[in-house]
Chains A and B, each alone.
Chain A
Amino acid sequence: MPLLEARDVHGGYGGMNILNGVNMTIEADEIGVIVGPNGAGKSTMLKAIFGLLTVSQGEILLRGEPIHNLPPHKLVQRGMGFIPQEKNVFPSLTVKENLEMGAFLKPNSVKRMLDKVYGFFPPLHEKRHQPAGELSGGQRQMVAMGRALMAEPEVLLLDEPTAGLSPLYMNEIFERVKEINAAGVGILMVEQNAKQALAIADKGFVLAAGQNRFTDTGAALLADPDVAKSFLGG
């Protein structure tokens, strides 16, 4: 049974449909990457999965159970984590408090998970008493990922984790995504840096106009001349 499955998902904001039938499947140990041009519905798809907008047609299954239109806090309970692209930390809370909020539903595992997250992101341990709003963009992204990991998710949704970061931090974030995945967390992420993201992807989904254009392994998509010509800038 796949970890996460979306079948023919339609949805959007206030009657305007942005998603016109998207299909996706992620197995438990996989990294899935969604790429595509602006306005293709990449982030919208992620939000639809996380219950932030109404799915009008189709279904989304987590380990075979339908989850579409469940509220976010229910999804967190069921093992899903979501990292928004912007405003993904609590700026006035310290780094440690940010992480604690991630484990809000599991207060007993805070200590154990803090150690684990500090293991993934050593700079966070150093800055744990600093307000997250004072950190650099890359470190903030680490806080955001750490916060989501605190809930021990089975699947993590990342919305453009490298947006606006320097190439150095970008590689760092991709490395961490691979590590987190290797630790047993399924990943579904939206990325603008399509080539690098597809390079670490088990599955790639090229969306356009709210529909799947190409769906294959990351390596196959990178090698496909059609994909390269229309979506990866030649």
Chain B
Amino acid sequence: MNELVFFINNVVVAGSVTGSIYAIGAIGVTLVFSIMRFAHFAHADMMTFGAFMVLLLTMAFPGAGAVVGLPTAVVMLPLAMALTALLAVGIDKAFYKPLRAHGVKPIVLVIASLGVTLILQGLIRLFAGTSSQSLYIAERKEIYRLDLPFELATRPIIVTEPQIILFILTIAAVVGLHLFLNRSRLGKAMRAMSDNPDLARASGINTNTIVAVTWVIAGGLAAVAGTLLSLDVTFKPDLSFFLLLPIFAAAIVGGVGHPYGAIAGGFVVGFAETLAVFNWTVLLRPIAHHFPEWLDLPRNLAFVGTEYKIVVPFFILVAILVWRPTGIFKGKVI
């Protein structure tokens, strides 16, 4: 039974955490692609920016969380989302909109977004320094231990407070997005523009408004994803390096331009990562005495070492592009 608990802690919980973060990141990438038809590489840095805003706000008002009984970082999140949305709209106005007005090819926008990535990374480092910082400043990270009602299970399932917040926020974000896209006038117009931009224009839909709304949502969600990751681990200025590849893999695995695909893709990549670094010896040990003698169970039986975790999304990406380039949900082929 303890092996099962170990599995739940290290795969189910850890995979859901990573999957949620990738899913929320990938939704932003996929929305931007579906409206503007380019891969926005600066998305991961918008996530870092959002987390950095939370860090700054938390340092400015360290006691704010105690008033409502939540971590200060979570209380500051809505404000950080607004700031990141503002940044996203501003970046679009300053860099992408003039290019679109010239009718450039999508690849030009992709290159421009690489430039924006470098600018953002430089700026964040300039102000945040290079070291890791916890978003828990004046508080302690609560850890919950859930004991299982079985005699053989002596170890508890361990979930931390930020992880619970993360699950709640992910569900809220997904439900909110679903309602927005399917019920609201602007959400439907967004789907219409993704389907057929010319006809959207011919229907009287002001495409500039839709573009702005897309950036607001992408920016807001980026701030959520970045903050959740920083809450779970720590804030690092180079966060985006570790996020860019998995979130793009998630968006492509799910089907580019397909928000629900991005969610599915996020969890596929998240679980693939955690399963790849999981030490299977732990699960095999109880049945090891059934193995023939010459087969010795190694101490660590993981597919890849934790330090090589980043290669997993890369392999998934290659596999998907080779065998099913449209992704799980038949997205657009880039």
A: residues with CB less than 8 A from B are 50, 71-73, 76-77, 82, 84, 87-93, 97-98, 100-102, 104-105, 107, 147, 151
Contacts and interface: CB of A to CB of B under 8 A. Distances in A.
Given A90-B195, A93-B188, A101-B188, A82 B205 contact: no
A104 B189 contact: yes
B259 to A, nearest CB: 12
A87 B204 contact: no
Given A76-B202, A97-B191, 11 more contacts: A72-B202, A73-B201, A73-B204, A82-B202, A89-B196, A90-B191, A90-B196, A92-B191, A93-B192, A97-B188, A100-B185
A77 B202 CA distance: 11
Nearest to A98: B192
Interface in B188-242: 188-189, 191-192, 194-196, 198-206
Contacts of B203: 76, 101-102, 104, 147, 151
A90 B192 contact: yes
B205 A87 contact: no
Interface in B155-206: 185, 188-189, 191-192, 194-196, 198-206
7 contacts: A71-B201, A84-B202, A89-B196, A93-B191, A101-B189, A104-B189, A151-B204
B323 to A, nearest CB: 24
Contacts of B195: 90-93
A87 B198 contact: yes
Contacts of A87: 196, 198-199
A90 B193 CA distance: 8
Given A73-B205, A73-B206, A101 B198 contact: no
A175 to B, nearest CB: 24
- Top 6 nearest A-B pairs (CB, nearest first) are A76-B204, A90-B195, A105-B204, A73-B204, A90-B192, A101-B192
A31 B200 CA distance: 26
Contacts of A76: 202-204
Nearest to A151: B204
Nearest to B194: A92
A97 B193 CA distance: 12
A102 B201 CA distance: 10
Query: Which of B189, B192, B196, B199 is packed against the most chain A CB atoms within 10 Å?
Result: B199
Nearest to B186: A104
A148 to B, nearest CB: 8
B191 A50 contact: no
Nearest to A102: B203
A103 B267 CA distance: 38
A104 B185 contact: yes
Given A87-B196, A91-B195, A72 B188 contact: no
A183 B32 CA distance: 41
A7 B329 CA distance: 50
A91 B200 CA distance: 12
Contacts of A98: 192
Contacts of B205: 73, 101, 104
Contacts of B202: 50, 72, 76, 82, 84
B199 A77 contact: no
Contacts of A105: 204
B204 A100 contact: no
A38 B192 CA distance: 31
Nearest to B204: A76
Contacts of A107: 185
Nearest to B201: A72
Contacts of A82: 202
B133 to A, nearest CB: 43
Contacts of B189: 101, 104
B199 A89 contact: yes
A76 B202 CA distance: 7
A90 B200 CA distance: 8
Query: Which of A98, A107, A151 is packed against the most chain B CB atoms within 10 Å?
Result: A98
B185 A90 contact: no
B255 to A, nearest CB: 12
Nearest to B193: A90
Contacts of B191: 90, 92-93, 97
Contacts of A91: 195-196
A81 to B, nearest CB: 8
B185 A84 contact: no
Contacts of A73: 201, 204-206
A73 B209 CA distance: 12
